[in-house]
Structure 1
Amino acid sequence: MLEWKTWTETARFHSPLLNGELDEQVIEVRRDPLTGHQSIYNAALEGKTAILFPPTDEAYLEERAAATEASCFLCHGRWQTTTPAYPEELIPGGRIVRGEAVLFPNLFPLSAHHAVVMVGERHHRHLDDFPEDLLADALAAALDFVKACAEKTPTVRYFTVNANYLFPAGASVIHPHLQILGSVEPGTHHRLLLDASRAYRERTGRCYWDDLAAAERTEKVRHIAQMERVHWMAAFSPMGVNEILAVVPGAATFLEWTEEDVRAVARGLQHVLAGFHALGFSTFNFSCYGGPLGESGGSFATVLRIVNRQNVTPHYRTDDYYFQKLLKNEIMIMRPEALAEHMRRFFA
């Protein structure tokens, strides 16, 4: 039922890199089966990867981590006096604590409910050093918050769990953290996913995300692993660099996650981050989208997207320009099938 739409275009020009000879470059275009999002791959860009995404300057990263730790409001227990607290009627005690994970309000909220989760006490971690237990505690704290909001403020129905890691990914602090957004209406891409999923259900009588997981598992080229009921795969038409997609079939909202789901997502994230680290990346964004609380209908499943961002260097260039920001396309520096093959080693 899914259409993997792909086509090619050819660019021809006389290239100074070939002493003026005619160069022909084949451009592969992919269109997402649900949203129509387009991604573009040009094999010639493989030679520019080091220019587009220069390697992390480890010395600079360590220097910035050391310089910011002294003033970090989360480090060395400072969060106990420097972070805000929720009203008792929403969150008893004002904050949610799970192991080393601590949830509290964002001082500058972007929605009715905007929480931050401190992910551990350590100020900086490399991507191959995010333990499953730590990630599970952070995700569990986020779910505790969603459950509390669902009970106390039922009109706030649309939730996402998100992360920016390091400043090229938009983080204002180096210390690892998550952000949970809860609003009365879904955000732009969240709405697109929900609307397109409903339309697919009305057209086919099936859940797109069930069909996607089944199709990718059958084709095997982009499917990475299944952990409990969570499927991990490389996105066919990625929205960002090295996008990995996770789908939790049967869990349309965060309220339907089980302890096993939390563990499976945490374990998968640990493996994905380790795989990113092995590719030489140091930053990421992820967003996990839940269906509207209190609504059933069989059209949605919880979906997580995680992508790399530009590496940490003193003068890094943005990886998000007109092509992504305004045309809403994406450039693939690695074919999803090759990315999936790389990631399977870390899930083995």
Structure 2
Amino acid sequence: MKFESVQKKTVILNPAENMARKTIPSEIRIDPLTRRSSRICHFMKLKWEKPDFDKLISGTEKMCPFCPDKIMKITPCFPPEIVEEGRMISDDMVLFPNIAPYDSIGAVATMGSRHYIPMTEIEPERIAKAFRLAMDFFRRFRDTGNEESVYNIINWNYMPPSGSSIIHPHLQVFSSSFAPNLMRNELDAAKIYMETSRTNYWDDLVKAETADGRRFLGKIGRTTWLTAYAPLGVAGDVLAVVDGVRCTLELTDDDLSDIAKGLTKAMAAYDKMGIYSFNMNFFTGAETDDHTRFHLLFSPRTFFNQALATPDIGAIQRLFNESVCMAFPEDIRDMLKSEW
């Protein structure tokens, strides 16, 4: 397991100190699996101002399609060969077709009837219950024998900085025979790793990170929580790997509960930095992919400037697909560790 990096230095003449020479460090990290690069630079205190939530939320419930007074009237239904009753319901949670799908089989799962839930008030039980509803959908779709039931993925975009256009908490749920870019790159690289080393990359990563400790957060059940060595997000990422699980449908109810607990810990920790939004994605193999392990990424999102709604993704990330993180993942781990 190689954790490679390239150290960089920039020298400027600093006008704040009579043009004295100042050296600014940065670092390029190489992801141990895919060799994707991530730049650790632009160091700043990881502290942001939260918006006026009352102002942000005010009136959004009036047009929200996921609120109880509208959801059963205006959301679409699945054809009977996929979901006989049209929509799947679990108490106040509803799963229905995504009107803007990412693939041929896509759904949205609301996380209850409450329109706005602050990040620190999202209970583990709520998350696990929404995951279970999605799992029921995945199993039902698999049982139809459809060839698209290969990779079963849950995405969660929470609040506007994450790209969510609806305040009401909800999950994006879809099945596809075509793995998204980064997931496909990981699967291909993990297969080569196993062919070369005769071991599973993710098992080796968990062992190495647990022994090293600098990015290790904790273990809940059989899920190991880490800060990612080469993060995608400006405030780092939290990575969770589930022992012995190859794909989404191998997750047990206990696994879902454990994952939900870990996610609320990550939310609580990032809330202390003033971050109130995130992306979360499932990364899964197919049912026969022994070379991989189910894992997820939790990536906090923010605006650099709340007043201007300046996003945390610029040209280097968007067009070069080059990640930028504003602190060392080891330091971010220390900031998060108190929640574990």
| Unpaired runs of at least 5, structure 2 | none
What is residue 284 of structure 2 aligned with on the other side? 290
For the residue of structure 1 that corresponds to 2:261, the secondary structure is: helix
Are 2:333 and 1:340 equivalent residues in the alignment? yes
Q: How much does 1:223 deviate?
A: 0.9
Hey, what's the Cα distance between the residues in 2 that align with 1:189 and 1:304?
A: 12
Query: 2:152 aligned to 159, 170, 174, which one?
Result: 159
Hey, what's the Cα distance between the residues in 2 that align with 1:161 and 1:196?
A: 22
> Equivalences for 1:210-229 in 2 at 5 Å?
210-229=203-222
Are 2:105 and 1:113 equivalent residues in the alignment? yes
What is residue 45 of structure 1 aligned with on the other side? 43
Are 2:2 and 1:3 equivalent residues in the alignment? yes
Query: 1:142 aligned to 108, 118, 134, which one?
Result: 134
Letter in 1 for 2:153: T
Are 2:304 and 1:305 equivalent residues in the alignment? no
Hey, what's the Cα distance between the residues in 2 that align with 1:108 and 1:7?
A: 41
Q: How much does 1:79 deviate?
A: 1.0
Query: 1:85 aligned to 58, 77, 80, which one?
Result: 77
Equivalent pair of 2:153/2:284 in contact (CA under 8 Å): yes
- Residues 65-98 of structure 1 show CA distances to partners (whole Å, capped at 9, x for unaligned) of 1221111111134212121111222223222223
Q: How much does 1:295 deviate?
A: 2.1
Judging changes above 3 Å, is the alpha-carbon distance between structure 1 residues 100 and 76 closer, same or farther for their aligned structure 2 residues? Answer: closer
What is residue 329 of structure 1 aligned with on the other side? 322
Query: 1:181 aligned to 155, 170, 174, which one?
Result: 174
Hey, what's the Cα distance between the residues in 2 that align with 1:306 and 1:169?
A: 11
Hey, what's the Cα distance between the residues in 1 that align with 2:19 and 2:145?
A: 66
Equivalent pair of 2:280/2:296 in contact (CA under 8 Å): yes
Are 2:224 and 1:231 equivalent residues in the alignment? yes
What is residue 21 of structure 2 aligned with on the other side? 22
Hey, what's the Cα distance between the residues in 1 that align with 2:110 and 2:307?
A: 26
Hey, what's the Cα distance between the residues in 2 that align with 1:145 and 1:214?
A: 33
Letter in 1 for 2:100: F
- Residues 317-343 of structure 1 show CA distances to partners (whole Å, capped at 9, x for unaligned) of 111112111222222222211222222
Query: 2:202 aligned to 209, 219, 231, which one?
Result: 209
Judging changes above 3 Å, is the alpha-carbon distance between structure 1 residues 153 and 16 closer, same or farther for their aligned structure 2 residues? Answer: farther
Q: How much does 1:279 deviate?
A: 1.5
| Unpaired runs of at least 5, structure 1 | none
Equivalent pair of 1:37/1:328 in contact (CA under 8 Å): no
Q: How much does 1:217 deviate?
A: 1.0
Judging changes above 3 Å, is the alpha-carbon distance between structure 1 residues 239 and 80 closer, same or farther for their aligned structure 2 residues? Answer: same
Q: How much does 1:259 deviate?
A: 0.8
Judging changes above 3 Å, is the alpha-carbon distance between structure 1 residues 85 and 246 closer, same or farther for their aligned structure 2 residues? Answer: same
Hey, what's the Cα distance between the residues in 1 that align with 2:272 and 2:89?
A: 32
Are 2:247 and 1:253 equivalent residues in the alignment? yes
For the residue of structure 1 that corresponds to 2:226, the secondary structure is: strand
Query: 2:259 aligned to 257, 262, 265, which one?
Result: 265
What is residue 98 of structure 1 aligned with on the other side? 90
For the residue of structure 2 that corresponds to 1:45, the secondary structure is: coil
Hey, what's the Cα distance between the residues in 2 that align with 1:250 and 1:100?
A: 33
Hey, what's the Cα distance between the residues in 2 that align with 1:141 and 1:65?
A: 27
Equivalent pair of 1:7/1:28 in contact (CA under 8 Å): yes
> What is the RMSD of the two structures over their aligned residues, measured on CA atoms?
1.7
Aligned residues: 337
Letter in 2 for 1:142: A
Query: 1:123 aligned to 115, 121, 127, which one?
Result: 115
- Residues 256-279 of structure 1 show CA distances to partners (whole Å, capped at 9, x for unaligned) of 111111111111111111111111
Hey, what's the Cα distance between the residues in 1 that align with 2:102 and 2:134?
A: 16
Moved segments of 4+, more than 4 Å: none
Are 2:219 and 1:243 equivalent residues in the alignment? no
Hey, what's the Cα distance between the residues in 1 that align with 2:83 and 2:111?
A: 19
Hey, what's the Cα distance between the residues in 2 that align with 1:155 and 1:105?
A: 18
Query: 1:195 aligned to 180, 188, 211, which one?
Result: 188
- Residues 192-218 of structure 1 show CA distances to partners (whole Å, capped at 9, x for unaligned) of 111011111111111111111111111
For the residue of structure 1 that corresponds to 2:68, the secondary structure is: helix
Identity %: 28
What is residue 69 of structure 1 aligned with on the other side? 61
Hey, what's the Cα distance between the residues in 2 that align with 1:268 and 1:92?
A: 34
Hey, what's the Cα distance between the residues in 1 that align with 2:157 and 2:329?
A: 22
Letter in 2 for 1:251: V
Equivalent pair of 2:43/2:327 in contact (CA under 8 Å): no
Hey, what's the Cα distance between the residues in 1 that align with 2:138 and 2:18?
A: 61
Equivalent pair of 2:232/2:325 in contact (CA under 8 Å): no
Equivalent pair of 1:99/1:137 in contact (CA under 8 Å): no
